[in-house]
Amino acid sequence: MSLVVLTCKLASARLLNPLNVAVSVVAMASLMAAPLLFADHHGSYDHHGSYDHHDSHTQQDSRTQHGSHGHHGAPAQAQEENPAVTAYQTASDRMHEDMAMSFTGNPDIDFAKGMIPHHEGAIAMAEIVLEYGEDSEIRQLAEDIVAAQESEIAFLREWLERHGH
C-alpha cells in the first residue's frame, strides 16, 4: 500500500488532521517529482536516482534544442548574462545535488532528511528574489518563506538528532 493511500485512509478514519494530510501529500509529491521536473533542463537522472550534470548534450545545446521553453522567451545569451538567472541555476543545481541522498527506508527519517535541502533551496531562491526582484508582494512572500523555512529546518534537524540521525 502506498504512503499516499495509507495517509488518505488514516485521514478518512479521522486519525490524522486533513490539513496536515494535504500538506504532507503535496510535500512528498513535490519531493518525489522534483528530479523529474528539472531533469529536462538541468541534466538528467538515471533510473537509480543519480544526477548527471553532463548529460549527452550540454546545457547550451539543451537551450538551443528546446528554444525558449522554460526560459520564458529570453534569448540564451541574455539568460547567461543575467545574474539572477545564474544565481537561480546555481541554487537549483545545489538543491538537487543535496537532495540526492541515500534513503534509509524509514519514511519519517527520509522525509526529514529530504526536506532540509528542499527548504534550503527555497531559502536560496527567496534570497535571490530579495536581491534582484522588485515586486513588493513577491518580496514579502520571500521574507515569509525565509522565516518559515528556517524554522522548519531547525525543527527537522532537532528531530533528526533526537532520533539518532
Model pLDDT for residues 66-88, shown as the tens digit of each residue = 343 444 555 655 666 899 999 99
Domain boundaries, position 137: 82-165
- Residue 46's CB is within 10 A of a number of other CB atoms, namely 9
Residue 14 pLDDT exceeds 90: no
Share of the chain above pLDDT 90, in %: 47
Lowest pLDDT segment from 2-16, 56-70, 133-147: 56-70
Residue 66 lies in a domain: no
Residue 7 forms part of a structural domain = no
The count of structural domains within the chain is 1
**Is residue 30, in this structure, part of any structural domain at all?**
no
Q: Does residue 143 form part of some domain?
A: yes
Q: Could you tell me which residues come within 8 angstroms of residue 82 by beta carbon, excluding any fewer than 6 positions away?
A: 74
Task: Report which secondary-structure segment, H or E, holds 77.
Answer: helix 76-81
Residue 16 maps to a domain: no
Say if residue 50's pLDDT is above 60: no
pTM above 0.85? no
